[in-house]
Amino acid sequence: MKARFGVGRGKALALAALVAIVASTVTTTEFAFAEEGSGDRNPSDHWGVITRNTIGSPVADLRNGPFGSFGVQGSAARPPYGRGSLGIEVADDSTSLAPPSEKVDFGNEVDFFGDPVLGLEKLGFHVFQTGENIAYGGAENMPNIRFEIDANLSTLPADNYTTMTWVPDAAPVTNRWSGFIDATSTGYWYFSGAEGAATGCTQATECTFAEAKAALNDGGDAPVIHTAAVGKGRDHMWIGAVDGLRINRHIYDFEADGVRTRPAR
């Protein structure tokens, strides 16, 4: 007996099975690309709270929003990339340590390891700052970008650790998302520990980004990165969010389901 269109029953069944296999393969492949990312949507498993840099019980959580505040419309009313952001919450007087404030770093201890510090050229992020945060600690009560590095200073040959920190200027807007804040041209940078005194870049003697890099370029071995992070503390209470962290050619888009990498345009 012949099936319709002149195809035998056995051949029709075989063809149907082949079509099902092909469809299943295409669906699986598409799902894999959706999970692994393609183009400018590549999630990374290497981002998270850096536990050894966490003090107290702060929050650094990938979340949706924030959207608003109420009455705010347009691009400032939503995260600059996707639907999510990195929500950060730290308290100023919650531990028995000195100072008593909390600290948190949300970062990556894998993907930047060994990269040249002097190769850093484009840095910054978008922030959701509130009027309440300003009341807690002033207009410059803001989250930071931090790089743990080996400065390789000729004057400190046995010292292989310092934190290179960006302290932003006051956010340009409050109770809504800011535009991109450039860490290479605004705010100031400093080094922790002995490297601060050796370079002249401390919280008391602030350095521009260019000055901080020049201080590291002392003719010895090149400085290298250990980790990269967005963090807050130990100082004032702060509750807000960050998105669109830029490090050179890539933008790290914080979403509720992970961190995605986008090419900077």
pLDDT in tens, the chain (265 residues): 333 334 354 544 444 444 444 444 433 333 232 333 334 445 688 999 999 999 999 999 999 999 999 999 999 999 999 999 999 999 999 999 999 999 999 999 999 999 999 999 999 999 999 999 999 999 999 999 999 999 999 999 999 999 999 999 999 999 999 999 999 999 999 999 999 999 999 999 999 999 999 999 998 899 999 999 999 999 999 999 999 999 999 999 999 999 999 999 8
Residues 95 and 201 reside in one and the same domain: yes
Entry pTM: 0.84
Number of independent structural domains in the chain: 2
121 shares its domain with 165: yes
- 49 and 30 housed in the same domain: no
Same domain assignment for residues 82 and 172: yes
Asked if 72 and 160 sit in the same domain, the reply is yes
Do 14 and 72 lie in one domain? The reply is: no
| Statement to judge: residues 170 and 205 lie in one domain | yes
Q: Which domain holds residue 11?
A: 1-36
Does 139 lie in the same domain as 74? yes
Q: Alpha carbon of 246 to those of 18, 40, 181: distances in Å?
A: 46, 14, 10
Same-domain status, 171 and 133: yes
24 & 135 share domain: no
Same domain? 1 vs 69: no
